[in-house]
Copies of this chain bind each other. A is one copy, B any other.
């Protein structure tokens, strides 16, 4: 297959950021306990309106509200259990019905069969617009033989090829993130190199990337662009934060400040 590697259009990236700040899209998260606070803070810092709701008694209503207000649904399986799977199923089905983009994070796929199987089943029932994970998680969605070391990227494998194959298999945009983020829609690939190694020492930075893709997908119907813009903005905020940080504690603080203060000049 012929692929080319487009550059991120900083003008279009800036338009998305401005749109998020102006429209404050509702990003409905059914996510894990570990990152609820930190992803809500990242979404608020960026300008979006996060909401967390996971009961089967209300996810359909909340997704419908996201549909009316032009929002997105973020599904993250980081601390999975059966009642949450039920809510994810209902929420994802409602998102398809209300044309709300689904951004899916297969946290720890490959670490246990429970996670891998749940991801495959959820995505088969209600296809996502975007899947973001680290390389080994993306590989696990393709192949049961991959075993992840918890939520960290396993060594080896080819994340670029995995992203492309996963995009083709699931019919959506896939981002295999890491030192380089490999974004593919199955035909076109884009590599984002923004970011900083210290970001991996703050829990949930991957989950935050997924949530931020949700905010961009809410304002940009082109899921490939939304993903590329989100990863570029995320990485840039991380770089700005790292330049002021003495460790992962100060990195996280400056990351929120950087997301809040992102301006057009910084993007160029």
Contacts and interface: CB of A to CB of B under 8 A. Distances in A.
B83 A57 contact: no
Interface hub of A115, A203, A252 (most chain B Cβ within 10 A): A203
Interface string A180-202: 00000000000000000000111
Interface string A238-261: 000000011111101111111111
Interface stretch (A40-48, A97-105, A133-141, A165-173): A40-48
Contact of A82 (B34, B57, B200, B203): B57
Nearest to A249: B256
Contacts of A55: 80-82, 114
B261 A257 contact: no
Interface in A155-176: none
Given A37-B35, A113-B61, A248-B256, A53 B79 contact: yes
Copy number in the complex reads 3
A204 B53 contact: no
Given A26-B150, A65-B149, A52 B37 contact: no
A: interface residue count bin: 35 or more
Nearest to A150: B51
A78 B79 CA distance: 17
A81 B54 contact: yes
Contacts of A253: 249-250, 252-253
A136 to B, nearest CB: 13
